[in-house]
Amino acid sequence: MRLYSINTGFFKLDGGAMFGVVPKSIWNKINPADEHNLCSWALRCLLIEEEDRLILIDTGLGTKQDAKFFGHYGLHGNDTLDSSLASYGFHRNDITDIILTHLHFDHCGGTIAREGERLVAAFPAARVWSNPEHWNWAIQPNDREKASFLKENILPIKDCGQLSMIDMPDEKSGDLQSDTHTPGTAHTGSLSSLGTTPFTDHIDIRFANGHTRAMMLPQIRYRNNTIVFMADLLPSAGHIPLPYVMAYDMFPLVSLQEKKVFLEEAVTNNYVLFFEHDREQECCTLVRTEKGIRPDRFFSLKELD
């Protein structure tokens, strides 16, 4: 197995929304805002080479939206998904599987491309993996989350015949159930337990529900390390302190509980955290301090080879 960090550029989001109730006087020291209160964030994906499979986790913003859309989010930087793949000797046609942590536009936008007026598969040989709970949540979006679930990013995945579903954790585990749920209503109990289900011999999928319904966090066993792709449970190292919960999260108290559970497990087992949106840091380990669990050592993915 080999792992590759895939940089697809940077975009901008409101700093207040990204840090929730944390005051700007504090978060601005972590990720300084521009004159419009916007902070720069990475669009970092992960490529896993495992035997005869090339598995890509998330696909970034993509390129099919219009100039007005990209103007809102300030896409910048020289990296693209294609150039990043090419730097390792790969092409998008080589990708066999795509795991979409969730279907917000900054995580799945690159899965579908535009050819003239047609929307087509950007990775024609790939199976695209979601899960039943999140898929149903995304195609019947609540009013608050609707702007993040763009139909042109989502529905063509099924229309192109690429959609596959990852099983939810089973009932006997006491973890997240594959139950029906009305979009836009709150969750309680086991729904914040971060249950897991196997994907391959070396990859398990964790589930979390605070940011959005049934978000998936791939957990990878690699060279005596356990690496967790953090998606939007911990979008950056700056979000590790417990109160640093995004205003974008649908259920912030669930996010808070999920962070507590995960961080305790991660520091105890010396997990490596891989950040999708941290503009500076790819990975870190954790340490207990008098202020709580905090980052210990920062490093790039290449340093694990």
Q: What is the pLDDT along the chain (305 residues), one digit of tens a residue?
A: 999 999 999 999 999 999 999 999 999 999 999 999 999 999 999 999 999 999 999 999 999 998 889 888 999 999 999 999 999 999 999 999 999 999 999 999 999 999 988 999 999 999 999 999 999 999 999 999 999 999 999 999 999 999 999 988 864 443 443 343 444 343 333 334 567 899 999 999 999 999 999 999 999 999 999 999 999 999 999 999 999 999 999 999 999 999 999 999 999 999 999 999 999 999 999 999 999 999 999 999 999 98
Q: Which pLDDT score is estimated for 196?
A: 87
**Is 43 within a domain?**
yes
Bridge partners of residue 226, in order along the sequence: 221
Token pair listed for 184: 């836009």
Residue 179 lies in a domain: no
With respect to residue 134, please indicate whether it lies within any of the assigned structural domains: yes
**Structure-block tokens of residue 106:** 């900054």
| pLDDT attached to residue 242 | 96
| Nearest CA-CA partner of 277 in 143, 113, 102 | 102
Strand partners of residue 40: 12
What whole-number distance in Å separates Cα of residue 148 and Cα of residue 47? 24
Number of domains composing the chain: 1
- The dihedrals phi and psi of 132, each to the nearest 5 degrees, come to -60, -40
Give the structural domain span for 132: 2-174+184-304
- Cβ(211)–Cβ(249) below 8 Å: yes
pLDDT at position 180 is 39
Three-state secondary-structure class, residue 16: helix
Instruction: Output b/e per residue, 106-120; b: 16+ Cβ within 10 A.
Output: bbbbbbbbbeeeebe
pLDDT recorded at residue 195: 77
Nearest to 240 by CA among 193, 291, 192: 291
Q: Which residues pair with 163 in a beta bridge?
A: 128
SS3 33: coil
Does 207 fall in a domain? yes
Give yes or no for a contact between 241 and 294, defined as CB atoms under 8 angstroms apart: yes
Query: Using the 8-state DSSP alphabet, how is residue 276 labeled?
Result: S
- Joined together, the tokens standing for residue 123 give 């990775």
> Residue 95 sits in a domain of what CATH number?
3.60.15.10
How far apart (Å, rounded) are the C-alpha atoms in residues 255 and 252?
A: 5
